[in-house]
């Protein structure tokens, strides 16, 4: 649990706090994770946009599924892989085609979650685009024009955090305008618009 909190922390201060707690539980783990390179597993050290995705290693995901198939001859293995991708592609295209919302279902759910969190907050404007947002005894600064928040969630995920959400609501803006196009359902549908074609038996 501490490792996941450490990996998913947006701010360096949160990362350091969880890493310190992790090291207290297992003293060897902290130095090991730092030697691996924090930018390889920590969201706070990420050098680019993450879009709320914590892994880019698709090969490891597929390897875990194709354990038995790896023992097959290469042509049979290739056919198993093609068949798997065809099935995945069809299932995801079918699911995407059913979506009638502006964003993907998971993004819409996240948007609703951020809205609920924003209800307990209040804000103080510094100017038309710069606001201090208070959440209990914590406060963060939102720059709506730059699409940045001091919590770093807004810019790393390219998606409104709860602090940005209350500012957008205050300005009567359209929250969808502040979501990256990558979250749009039309882009989800376009990803699976193609077809992975079946192949006849090799004897044919």
Q: Are 91 and 143 in contact (CB under 8 A)?
A: no
Residue from 45, 162, 70 nearest 110 by CA: 162
Residue given tokens 């995945």 in the structure block: 88
φ, ψ dihedrals at 124, nearest 5°: -130, 120
Query: So what's the pLDDT on residue 52?
Result: 57
- Residue 184 is given by DSSP the state B
CA distance 140 to 72: 55
* Mean residue pLDDT across the chain: 87
- Provide mean pLDDT across the span 65-87: 84
- Provide mean pLDDT across the span 95-105: 96
Query: So what's the pLDDT on residue 5?
Result: 85
Residues 111-163: tens digit of each pLDDT: 999 999 999 999 999 998 899 999 999 999 999 999 999 999 999 999 999 99
- Provide mean pLDDT across the span 18-25: 86
Cα-Cα end-to-end distance for the chain: 53
Torsion of CA 36, 2, 30, 12, to 10 degrees: 80
Please check the confidence at residue 60 and state whether its pLDDT lies above 70. Answer: no
Q: Where are the alpha helices (DSSP H) in the chain?
A: 2-8, 12-25, 29-36, 58-65, 74-97, 105-118, 153-157, 162-170, 185-191
């Amino acid at each position: 649990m501490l490792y996941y909190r450490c990996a998913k922390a947006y701010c360096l201060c949160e990362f350091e706090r969880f890493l310190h707690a992790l090291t207290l539980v297992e003293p060897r783990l902290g130095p090991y994770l730092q030697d691996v390179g924090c930018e390889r597993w920590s969201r706070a050290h990420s050098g680019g946009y993450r879009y709320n995705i914590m892994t880019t290693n698709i090969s490891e995901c597929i390897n875990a599924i194709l354990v038995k198939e790896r023992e097959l001859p290469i042509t049979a293995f290739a056919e198993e892989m093609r068949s798997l991708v065809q099935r995945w592609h069809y299932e995801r295209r079918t699911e995407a085609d059913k979506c009638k919302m502006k964003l993907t279902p998971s993004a819409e759910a996240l948007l609703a979650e951020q809205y609920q969190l924003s209800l307990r907050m209040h804000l103080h404007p510094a100017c038309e685009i710069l606001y201090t947002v208070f959440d209990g005894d914590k406060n963060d600064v939102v720059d709506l024009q730059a699409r940045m928040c001091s919590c770093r969630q807004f810019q790393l995920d390219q998606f409104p955090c709860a602090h940005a959400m209350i500012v957008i609501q205050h300005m009567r803006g359209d929250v969808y305008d502040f979501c990256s196009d990558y979250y749009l359902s039309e882009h989800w549908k376009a990803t699976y618009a193609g077809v992975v074609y079946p192949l006849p038996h090799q004897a044919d």
